[in-house]
Amino acid sequence: MKYLIFLVSLFFVVPVQSQIPDLMPLPAKYTLKNKDFSINTSFKIEIQGDANERVYKEASRFFQRVAERTGLFFKTWMVDEGSKLSGRGLLIKIKTKGNLALGMDESYSLQIDQAQILLTANNDIGAIRGLATLIQLIGAGQEGYFFKGIAIEDEPRFTWRGLLVSQPYHFMPMDVIKRTIDAMAAVKMNVLHFYISDDQGYRIESKVYPRLHQLASDGMYFSHEQVREMVQYADQRGIRVVPEIDVPGHSTAMIYAYPHLASVARDYALQDHWGVFDPTLDPTKASTYTFLDSLLTEVASLFPDQYFHIGGDENTGKDWQKNQSIRSFMQSNNLKTTLALQNYFNRKVQAILQKSGKITVGWDEVLMKEVAPASAKKYFQDGRYDQLIETNVPKDMVIQSWRGMEALLSSAKNGYKSILSKGFYIDLVQPASYHYLTDPIPFRNDIIIPDSEANFDRFESDIIKKIQQGEKLLSAEEEKLILGGEATMWTEHVSAETFDSRVWPRTAAIAERLWSPAELRNVDDMYRRMDIVSIQLESLGLTHIKNKEMMLRRLMGTNDVTALSNLVQYLEPVQGYKRNRANNFTRFSPYTLMVDIAVPDQKAVRSVTALFANAGVTKEIEKLNQVESLLQQWIVDARKVQLDIDQKPALKDFLVPTIYLEKIAAVGINAIGIYKSGSKLEKFWDEEKEELFKKAVKENGYCELKVVTPLKNFIMSLVRQ
Amino acid sequence: MKYLIFLVSLFFVVPVQSQIPDLMPLPAKYTLKNKDFSINTSFKIEIQGDANERVYKEASRFFQRVAERTGLFFKTWMVDEGSKLSGRGLLIKIKTKGNLALGMDESYSLQIDQAQILLTANNDIGAIRGLATLIQLIGAGQEGYFFKGIAIEDEPRFTWRGLLVSQPYHFMPMDVIKRTIDAMAAVKMNVLHFYISDDQGYRIESKVYPRLHQLASDGMYFSHEQVREMVQYADQRGIRVVPEIDVPGHSTAMIYAYPHLASVARDYALQDHWGVFDPTLDPTKASTYTFLDSLLTEVASLFPDQYFHIGGDENTGKDWQKNQSIRSFMQSNNLKTTLALQNYFNRKVQAILQKSGKITVGWDEVLMKEVAPASAKKYFQDGRYDQLIETNVPKDMVIQSWRGMEALLSSAKNGYKSILSKGFYIDLVQPASYHYLTDPIPFRNDIIIPDSEANFDRFESDIIKKIQQGEKLLSAEEEKLILGGEATMWTEHVSAETFDSRVWPRTAAIAERLWSPAELRNVDDMYRRMDIVSIQLESLGLTHIKNKEMMLRRLMGTNDVTALSNLVQYLEPVQGYKRNRANNFTRFSPYTLMVDIAVPDQKAVRSVTALFANAGVTKEIEKLNQVESLLQQWIVDARKVQLDIDQKPALKDFLVPTIYLEKIAAVGINAIGIYKSGSKLEKFWDEEKEELFKKAVKENGYCELKVVTPLKNFIMSLVRQ
């Protein structure tokens, strides 16, 4: 728990040069130096100490990546026990073998100067984190490549820095998972939450219940061998893999394969659509637990991590209420609510997993009690947090909070460990800045940002009020119970082709939130560094940049996609659950259209916004000309795309955005013309234009044109000159 | 052998419309229709007959891909036995389950009209070939998407249409292999030649001799489970997998892991470089055969195909000559040459594989005898082909000809089956047109093209002379022994990132050569269709187009790669073995520089060449202006790149090409200016310009600037006005 004590005493060192290095996540402490370590073909790496095989392999990969980036033909390459420094090089000193587990020591120290690079760590995992930092420090100039001179003392603020990948909605094959793991390691994340089972599919082989993968996977699942391959791949990069089998709700796939598990007899099939469904395991039958005993023991044996996620979210309880025998069971066992029955179920599942030595993790609902709103409010006001939760939840259970502050507070106040996911739902395609400013310990008035989306949280506004009034809601001890957070990639609306662009680079901002000091909240600099890291991540095989034009080429059937590519960089998918509400998307519908090609939080939108803002403020002629030629380009591109659409119907979603882009660009050009002629613009902004921009900003084809408002603001600044 | 009879009677139907459909490979016979089958969301697929599971899965993937291309939200998607047509749709009729083996029936018939699509085939493999055709027939227009109306009767000209992937030089992980298989299936190739062992590594797990993968793979190998996964993946797409364990030469990896196999005792290590090395298995020791017996039996059990490749190429024989005991063995067994000793060895290996029911395949050398040049010439002239080969080579052995006509002729004349690889060495980055015009049955005077590169062929010129004199070198029966051909991707100079761009789309031209009628030799139309297929292949996950800018971004560290990207499309890697001769490339050196980013046979070079030629001939002002602005763009891009290089040393290879591109563009602009002014250009082309263009065309950084000569030709056409 050393890291937790460290966390409290943490402070953010502003370096003398007041220059922030191109690192993400930023280290806990660093000082830039004046002299760098130049890299030449004699570069070598030596590892000293009781090192695990992991770090040799990572060091070899590191060597290879440095060669790829710099084009240097190194004289040596594989790093093994025989690798010794004879002169300048990287010396890695390790005390002992690392143990990949919750609370593991990931600290390291890195000293780069002209003569040497010294990376010291207590174990190989810390050393791997240090190598992830070092590769980001490659710099280039006329003289060649170098590692930036710096002194770093680093360790994570939180021990649980996760990414959830849900396999049931759209299956992500091994290559996607492997490159995801590589990217996670690059930004020092350490938990892959591997979500296996849901209403739409069951995604790993089961030897004890083979109908699970045979019937409920459409042939898309990981064999035992592949699960081991993935776990081993993650282990080599210092990443734990925590599996989730979501029970008793979200279990259509399981019930479809084994209908005797159902609470209600009906014709079951995999769900094609997304949402919350009623099928639920019957928690009153012995045969359900026999099944789970064999199944969970089998799954547990595949994942060496001590933690095992049992889901527990979004059980509607309806199927339990429908079944007379379940209702009787609740009565005779004095279980007043379905949440109470679920609590009964959870304890039996926990007992099963305990036999395999596992500690369970669950979503909010596994802890929360059904309490009438008025009573709940009173309990909350009186600080009677114990009344908000179910009794009998084992104290070692970890709560994953997807609904927010109430659960997080109740969990910590009652002594439960927890991890935050609300605010880190990257599938909702919100900007990185939003995720970046979300903090796993939100109970301080300087770091709260309220979240209006998907608010299941009864007391959020009350909590925020209390915090803002200066009330200290959590003690230092209670804060320590918050282990970290997890970005969640629910894969309803992604394919293997678009997965990366929905996860990266935004997840790097979350990685920084979870690793770096809480005080670090400079959004502009986060974006500056994220853009750099984004290119570096691409070298790991990520497709988040390169698949855009590939997808455009598919729809065009030719290489001629420049206009489309220019246009699509201003379009972002609608945020939150807006796309979910349209019920036409399924497991098999195409994810190859405009909304899938557009990516969240576009860099071009940020650049154009900055250009417009700057030109609007300075009104320098050079800037105005820049804006003008940009707008002219919009018109050229829009017209070209309109012609393309005519022959390629799959491009039809682009039509409306091109029409608006063309029209608003014309308004902008017009405004600049008038301004440059020296005339007044006071009557320029009429109702017609207001209406046009209002329409242009609206959602089309599940996308929003993100440059409308920035352009309007620019025009307004001319109008108000 | 039905396909062979078909082959002889084959004729190429020129359709009434004299329009060639966008298919590759082109079918044996087709007739275009006037009406198409329009695709809407009610589209369905039904499969009738005794179908293998393969075709249901392929049909589901087909359905999914049509959705991805058209953006249509189909009402159904998975194709299974319950899928029935109620109205318009695709009906697949299959007689019987296919058996994936040499000589398998791959024929199909496809009828597309307004009301229905009928795909009939004798078995599921034929149906899979038909689906590969059908997906290429998707068309688009204002009215929506359609399958082009056509009637096709199709079957392959050759039964062996392979691609060799060598794993030892650079390891290609599973995702690369899988997408290669998908792409092969898309152009109807049917043999993946999986090359496992060489001097640089041994790439599959061995449970009987685990040091092979533990010591000799750097941790990069396929487990048994992964081999089975690959074989199954290929099987599902109608592709055989033929493994190769190359013995007795090319065996450093094997000897490094098990030194007792060596002919000469020395310190062994994996070879880091490329070339022909001396380490060779000792063919005189019983322990060698004990080892091979266990190993080959294990490997044979992993690959269900009846054919097993034992290599046999490039054994220098030097290590055998060095060993006194081997020399004695040769004497006492009356083995006069090392080829004779290898023949002795081969027969023992064949006996081992026969126990596993395998038929062996080997490179040229397994058949050829060492004969003094004078005698060889005389034998050849007298048609005494039996004197050119070793006796005792089992008659069922298949010869893979990598050295050319002599081997192919000797093989067929002596009754051996053979496959051609010479001319299909795609690793030599030659143009698709060259491969396209190479024919596995080169013994006809209309289809010969001599190949000057890597000519090991003593009689090539004699053979060509005979053919041109009208001599019929092979009887119809002998021609039938030529089973087909194989493209070879030796991976010395590719990484997992560049593999695809070295294989595709050029291999599609070879696929057509091996599938389609011999008479089809229209290079321009091949390129037209190859460019279309190239985009379609990308949807299978291939990175041959998209990795270019990714690699440029890595070297730049930013998104700003347009100028570099424009420039690199005029650069092609040096062809043949020129890059091999530079000895600085190794298993671990970077393959991320200019020569790796440049791709062979660039589309842009072809377009620019056509533009220059057209402008040179017509001298139309519009064309001249087009050339002028293109040349101006060259200058702008070249200057931008020169600035980039200054800060990014890894771009340094680009410097010389940018300097020349800028200079020759200036010459071109100058020439156009003079021409447009109406002045004479007769003295324009002076020695200085001649010298400049001579220098500009030369190799730099293992690349050639392919637009120099086309530009010179254009200028000359102005000069000669």
User: B538 in contact with A at a CB cutoff of 8 Å?
Assistant: yes
pLDDT at B520 over 90: yes
Search chain B and give the residue with CA nearest A549.
Answer: B546
Question: Shortest Cα distance from A714 to chain B (angstroms)?
Answer: 26
Of A57, A70, A558, the CB nearest to B219: A57
- Looking at residue B551, what is its pLDDT? 98
Of A69, A73, A592, the CB nearest to B68: A592
pLDDT in tens, A479-509: 999 999 999 999 999 999 999 999 999 999 9
Of A142, A173, A556, the CB nearest to B646: A142
- Looking at residue B457, what is its pLDDT? 77
Of A546, A553, A646, the CB nearest to B549: A546
Interface of B with A in 222-261 (CB under 8 A): 223, 225-226, 229
pLDDT at A25 over 90: yes
With cut-offs at 50, 70 and 90, classify the pLDDT of residue B658.
very high
Angle at B590 (CA atoms; ends B203, B556), nearest 5 degrees? 135
Of B73, B173, B223, the CB nearest to A590: B73
- Looking at residue B461, what is its pLDDT? 84
Contact B404, B460 (CB under 8 A): yes
> CA-CA distances (angstroms) from residue B44 to A196, A269, A291, A419, B115?
31, 20, 38, 47, 13
pLDDT at A220 over 50: yes
User: A78 in contact with B at a CB cutoff of 8 Å?
Assistant: yes
Chain A residues within an 8 Å CB radius of B589: 67, 73-74
Whole-prediction pTM? 0.95
User: B560 in contact with A at a CB cutoff of 8 Å?
Assistant: no
pLDDT at B491 over 50: yes
pLDDT at B454 over 60: no
With cut-offs at 50, 70 and 90, classify the pLDDT of residue B448.
low
pLDDT in tens, B642-657: 999 999 999 999 999 9
Is residue A20 helix, strand or coil?
Answer: coil
Residue from A337, A250, A320 nearest A283 by CA = A320
User: A72 in contact with B at a CB cutoff of 8 Å?
Assistant: yes
pLDDT in tens, B65-122: 999 999 999 998 899 999 999 889 999 999 999 999 999 999 999 999 999 999 999 9
Q: Determine the residue among B272, B533, B588 to mutate to test chain A binding: the one whose Cβ has the most chain A Cβ atoms within 10 Å.
A: B588
Chain A residues within an 8 Å CB radius of B144: 649
Contact B162, B190 (CB under 8 A): yes
How many CB atoms within 10 Å of residue B79? 23
With cut-offs at 50, 70 and 90, classify the pLDDT of residue B451.
low
Search chain B and give the residue with CA nearest A39.
Answer: B649
Give dist(CA B594, CA A224) in Å, integer. Answer: 41
Contact A309, A242 (CB under 8 A): yes
Give dist(CA A589, CA B161) in Å, integer. Answer: 34
Search chain B and give the residue with CA nearest A64.
Answer: B588
Return the beta strands (E) in A183-303 as ranges. Answer: 191-198, 201-202, 240-245
Tokens matching residue B644: 């980039």
Contact B409, B381 (CB under 8 A): no
Of A223, A546, A588, the CB nearest to B64: A588
Exposed, middle or buried by CB within 10 Å (0-12, 13-18, 19+), for B16? exposed
A297, A299, A302, A304: CA torsion to nearest 10: -70
pLDDT in tens, A118-131: 999 999 999 999 99
With cut-offs at 50, 70 and 90, classify the pLDDT of residue A534.
very high
Chain B residues within an 8 Å CB radius of A173: 175
- How much of chain B, in percent, has pLDDT values that exceed 90? 88
User: B67 in contact with A at a CB cutoff of 8 Å?
Assistant: yes
Helices within B414-481 (DSSP H only): 432-437, 460-468, 476-479
Interface contact B140-A78, CB threshold 8 A: no
pLDDT at B391 over 90: no
Residues 6+ apart with CB under 8 A from A484: A158, A159, A160, A161, A162, A419, A420, A440, A514
pLDDT at B564 over 90: yes
Domains identified in chain B and CATH numbers = 29-154 (3.30.379.10), 156-182+371-521 (no CATH), 190-366 (3.20.20.80), 547-719 (no CATH)
User: A470 in contact with B at a CB cutoff of 8 Å?
Assistant: no
Residue from A332, A584, A475, A340 nearest A8 by CA = A475
Contact B447, B432 (CB under 8 A): no
**End-to-end C-alpha distance for chain B, whole angstroms:** 58
User: A396 in contact with B at a CB cutoff of 8 Å?
Assistant: no
Contact B556, B470 (CB under 8 A): no
- H or E element: which one contains B160? strand B160-166
User: A64 in contact with B at a CB cutoff of 8 Å?
Assistant: yes
pLDDT in tens, B687-710: 999 999 999 999 999 999 999 999
pLDDT in tens, A418-467: 999 999 999 999 999 999 999 999 887 776 665 655 556 788 888 888 88
Amino acid at B437: L
Q: Got the DSSP string for A644-710?
A: HHHH-GGGGGGHHHHHHHHHHHHHHHHHHHHHHTT---TTTS-HHHHHHHHHHTS-BTTEEETTHHH
Angle at B546 (CA atoms; ends B544, B548), nearest 5 degrees? 80
Residue from B500, B143, B232, B370 nearest A648 by CA = B143
Give dist(CA A322, CA A317) in Å, integer. Answer: 9
Helices within A258-363 (DSSP H only): 286-302, 318-322, 324-332, 338-355
Residue from A409, A359, A438 nearest A102 by CA = A359
Chain A residues within an 8 Å CB radius of B546: 543, 546-547, 549-550
- Looking at residue B450, what is its pLDDT? 59
- Looking at residue B15, what is its pLDDT? 41
- Looking at residue B392, what is its pLDDT? 87
Q: Determine the residue among B549, B550, B565, B652 to mutate to test chain A binding: the one whose Cβ has the most chain A Cβ atoms within 10 Å.
A: B550
Chain B residues within an 8 Å CB radius of A586: 73
Residue from A673, A719, A662, A671 nearest A696 by CA = A662
With cut-offs at 50, 70 and 90, classify the pLDDT of residue B349.
very high
pLDDT at B17 over 50: no
Search chain A and give the residue with CA nearest B74.
Answer: A589
Q: B117 forms bridges with which residues in the sheet?
A: B90, B112
pLDDT at B359 over 90: yes
User: B658 in contact with A at a CB cutoff of 8 Å?
Assistant: no
Give the single-character DSSP code of A539: T
pLDDT at B459 over 90: no
Of B225, B538, B649, the CB nearest to A553: B538
User: A650 in contact with B at a CB cutoff of 8 Å?
Assistant: yes
Rounded mean pLDDT, B673-697: 96
- H or E element: which one contains B302? helix B286-302
Give dist(CA A715, CA A710) in Å, integer. Answer: 9
Residue from A116, A56, A118 nearest A81 by CA = A56
With cut-offs at 50, 70 and 90, classify the pLDDT of residue A9.
very low
Give dist(CA A402, CA A407) in Å, integer. Answer: 8
Average pLDDT, chain B: 94
pLDDT at B14 over 50: no
Give the single-character DSSP code of B153: E
- Give the burial string for A220-245 (b: 16+ CB within 10 Å, else e): ebbebbbbbbbbebbbbbbbbbbbbb
> CA-CA distances (angstroms) from residue B573 to A578, B110, B550, B579?
49, 40, 18, 8
Rounded mean pLDDT, B203-210: 98
Give the single-character DSSP code of B262: B
pLDDT at B6 over 60: no
Give dist(CA A448, CA B716) in Å, integer. Answer: 72
User: B221 in contact with A at a CB cutoff of 8 Å?
Assistant: no
**Could you give the ipTM of this predicted complex?**
0.95
Report, in this order, helix, strand and coil percent for chain A, each rounded to 5: 45, 15, 40
Contact A148, A113 (CB under 8 A): no
Contact B72, A592 (CB under 8 A): no
pLDDT in tens, A258-271: 999 999 999 999 99
Q: A152 forms bridges with which residues in the sheet?
A: A30, A110
With cut-offs at 50, 70 and 90, classify the pLDDT of residue B9.
very low
- Looking at residue B128, what is its pLDDT? 98
With cut-offs at 50, 70 and 90, classify the pLDDT of residue A6.
very low
Give dist(CA A401, CA A419) in Å, integer. Answer: 6
